[in-house]
Amino acid sequence: MIADRLRWGILGTANIARRLFVPGVRAGGETEVLAVGSRSEDAARAFADQLAIPRAYGSYEALLADKDVDAIYVALPNSLDAEWTIRGAQAGKHVLCEKPLARRAAEAEQIAAACKAAGVLLMEAFMWRHHPQHARVRAVLDSGAIGEPGFVRASFSYVIDTTVRRGGMNVRLLPGLEGGSLMDVGCYGVNVARWVFGSEPEGFAAQQWVDPRYGVETIFGGVLRFPGGQLAMVDSSFVHASINRYEIAGPDGRLVVERAFRPDDAPGRIDIYRGSDHSVEVATIPPANQFANEADHFAHCVRAGKLLSPAEDGVAQARALEALYAAAEA
């Protein structure tokens, strides 16, 4: 039984935890951050002091041993997600794991099985799903305004910081930590396509550019074919100007969502084009903290004892990512 507020332990001191997740938790109303764990006690203490977190641990094991922690937020490099999600589950903690859950389906299935065996919830942290602009998109689609959706195009790119700091190279550029643009931002496009069509892809084609300086792909483009002939085109990059948007097309119109995955403090905006004259309706969605919504939603799921829409566990997502990488490497 969890307390009135679900109590988080954070594994790792990554910027996403520091700058977005912890402030998001505090902007919500259902959860609180109790502890942070790092491989370095100094790093954990500095993180805790900066963000006024009550408890700091110099190892992940020590945080998992804290009986007051109800759930863990796994904010580690991709290659460490499986080990520490499984160990968290075995310690009786519910798990919100930063996306993507895994690069390979077998690993994702192992994670999900461990969480099920331990009787804890597992949720992949695709925070975009919890912004109200996408609920509005779903309402537009369900209304039939553009007809049956048949095509999705999604792009997420930014110019990555290649500065080598005291901690080393950016983890997104390290093959040993499962870096790469598809794992970092391209996975959002895959996720939105699966969400739009409400089914899983069955055909894949892809191309990538692996930068020889880093050994990971810095540009990725993929096509996913869904049952019934629906298609999605997704692209991601570490070397192109910032963009995060998706477009959905049907026989009677299309809609475009700008700032789709990271609206941050800006209002959401949906441009809805209809008919042969391409008349446009602009829907503006008030700003929302999607990290706050995500944390609160997770608490609701824990209390319900199951994942509630629009959450998912990430296994099917991993199958799609693995298939895209295989297509690009063929």
Burial class from Cβ neighbours inside 10 Å (0-12, 13-18, 19+) for residue 105 reads middle
Residue with tokens 């706050």: 292
Question: How far apart, in whole angstroms, are the C-alpha atoms of residue 191 and residue 139?
Answer: 18
Question: How far apart, in whole angstroms, are the C-alpha atoms of residue 64 and residue 77?
Answer: 18
Two structure tokens written together for 145: 């305004």
Q: Which of 102, 70, 81, 92 is nearest to 11 (CA)?
A: 81
Q: At residue 251, what are phi and psi to the nearest 5 degrees?
A: -65, -20
Residue type, 218: T
Helices (H), 151-274: 181, 187-197
Per the annotation, the verdict on 99 as an active-site residue is yes
Question: How far apart, in whole angstroms, are the C-alpha atoms of residue 28 and residue 262?
Answer: 18
Return the exposure string of 198-227: e unless at least 16 CB atoms fall within 10 Å of the residue's CB, then b.
Answer: eeebeebebebebbeebebbbbbbbbbebe
Distance from CA of residue 225 to its chain's centroid?
22
Spot the catalytic one: 93, 99, 116, 306. 99
Q: Are 41 and 57 in contact (CB under 8 A)?
A: yes
Query: Among all residues, which ones are annotated catalytic?
Result: 99
